[in-house]
Amino acid sequence: GAVVSQHPSWVICKSGTSVKIECRSLDFQATTMFWYRQFPKQSLMLMATSNEGSKATYEQGVEKDKFLINHASLTLSTLTVTSAHPEDSSFYICSAIQGAGQPQHFGDGTRLSIL
Amino acid sequence: DAKTTQPPSMDCAEGRAANLPCNHSTISGNEYVYWYRQIHSQGPQYIIHGLKNNETNEMASLIITEDRKSSTLILPHATLRDTAVYYCISTGTGNQFYFGTGTSLTVIP
């Protein structure tokens, strides 16, 4: 149980386009979802915390207008990278929890490459 | 910012126990200690978590010191598939994870 699915797993697109990444909790309802970014040979960096039906809370230094997060239901959150540029190329990972104090369950990540 | 510190790398012989230490000296009373591992190009995998008491599951054991300032993850019989980066994370009521640099464990045949 506690499976989190991310889609797509890999995307390559041209500079200036917008890219949407989906994160779904398949077998549980997620009260909170999280979005992370990971650069090569580095650790995961928390970008934002998303609660269903409310605005996401972004970490310091993360541009909310560039990384749009929508959490429309208890099983789906989306991250849209707007007007993507090569420096946005990274590994984006989502996670979800069923409730406070519960472990985060992670998706398998989306590798984004901007040409 | 991450509130845990771990050695950057460790080696372990296949079949032996792997003991991975973590310092979380600023942990507060309501903060859990979580352990995850990440194999290259995958999302982190949950291993175990605890608050005060030692915990054991089918994957590992977690030993938390009485003062809760440090913990040790024990993989009882390491296999080659246990080669990964292991992260120790402490979190409070906000449930946010701030990852440190983790320990890169290499299991040697």
CB-based contact B95 A104, cutoff 8 Å: yes
The tokens for A18 are 């917008």
- pLDDT for res B93: 61
The answer to whether the CB atoms of B32 and A109 lie below 8 A apart is no
Nearest Cα neighbor of A67 from A106, A44, A94, A42 is A94
Query: Which pLDDT belongs to residue A4?
Result: 96
More confident residue, A36 or A52: A36
For residue B73, give how far its alpha carbon lies from the nearest alpha carbon of chain A (Å): 16
DSSP string, A17-55: --EEEEEEESSS--SEEEEEEE-TTS--EEEEEEETTSP
Interface test with B, best of A51, A104, A110 (most B CBs within 10 A): A104
- Give me the percent of chain A exceeding a pLDDT of 70: 100
Contact at 8 Å (CB) between A43 and B101? yes
Residues of A in contact with B93 (CB under 8 A): 100-101
Per residue of chain B (109 residues), give pLDDT as tens. Answer: 668 999 999 999 999 999 999 999 888 888 899 999 999 889 999 999 999 999 999 999 999 999 999 999 999 999 999 999 999 998 866 788 989 899 999 999 9
